[in-house]
Amino acid sequence: MDQFTSIIPLARWPEEFTFGPFLDTLRRRMPEADIGHAGRPTELHTRAITLSVDGVEMLVGMTAEPLDPELVERAVSLAHTWPGAGEAVHGCPAHAVVGVHEEPKGWARSREVARLVETVAHALIGHVPARAHLWGTAARLLPVETFSSIIDDPRSTALRWVGLEFFRGPRTVDGEETVAIHTRGLAGFIGYEMELAAVPMSPPNAAQIIMSVAQYLLDNGPVLDNGDIIGPPDGARFQVHRLSRERSHGAVKMQLSLVG
Which pLDDT tens digit goes with each residue over 183-227?
A: 999 999 999 999 999 999 999 999 999 999 999 999 999 999 999
Last residue of a domain, one of 125, 158, 191: 158
> Same domain, yes or no, for 210 and 99?
no
Last residue of a domain, one of 158, 176, 204: 158
State pLDDT tens for residues 14-40. 988 989 999 999 999 999 999 998 755
Beta strand 193-199 pairing with 253-258: parallel
Question: What pLDDT, on a 0 to 100 scale, did the predictor assign at position 103?
Answer: 83
> Same domain, yes or no, for 123 and 199?
no
> In DSSP terms, which residues pair with 196 in a beta bridge?
181, 256
> Same domain, yes or no, for 199 and 145?
no
Check residues 152 and 159 and name the one with the higher pLDDT.
159
Full residue range of the structural domain in which residue 91 is found: 5-158
Q: How confident is the model at residue 43 (pLDDT cuts 50, 70, 90)?
A: very low
> Same domain, yes or no, for 49 and 91?
yes
Using CA atoms, how far apart are residues 105 and 238, in angstroms rounded to an integer? 29
Rg of the chain, C-alpha, whole Å: 20
> Same domain, yes or no, for 146 and 40?
yes
Overall domain count for the chain: 2
> Same domain, yes or no, for 112 and 186?
no
Question: What pLDDT, on a 0 to 100 scale, did the predictor assign at position 171?
Answer: 92
Strand (E) or helix (H) holding 157: none
Strand (E) or helix (H) holding 163: strand 163-169
Please give the model's pTM, rounded to 2 decimal places. 0.89
Q: How confident is the model at residue 148 (pLDDT cuts 50, 70, 90)?
A: very high
User: In the predicted model, is pLDDT for residue 3 greater than 90?
Assistant: no
Last residue of a domain, one of 104, 124, 158: 158
User: In the predicted model, is pLDDT for residue 144 greater than 50?
Assistant: yes
> Same domain, yes or no, for 79 and 107?
yes
> Same domain, yes or no, for 15 and 142?
yes
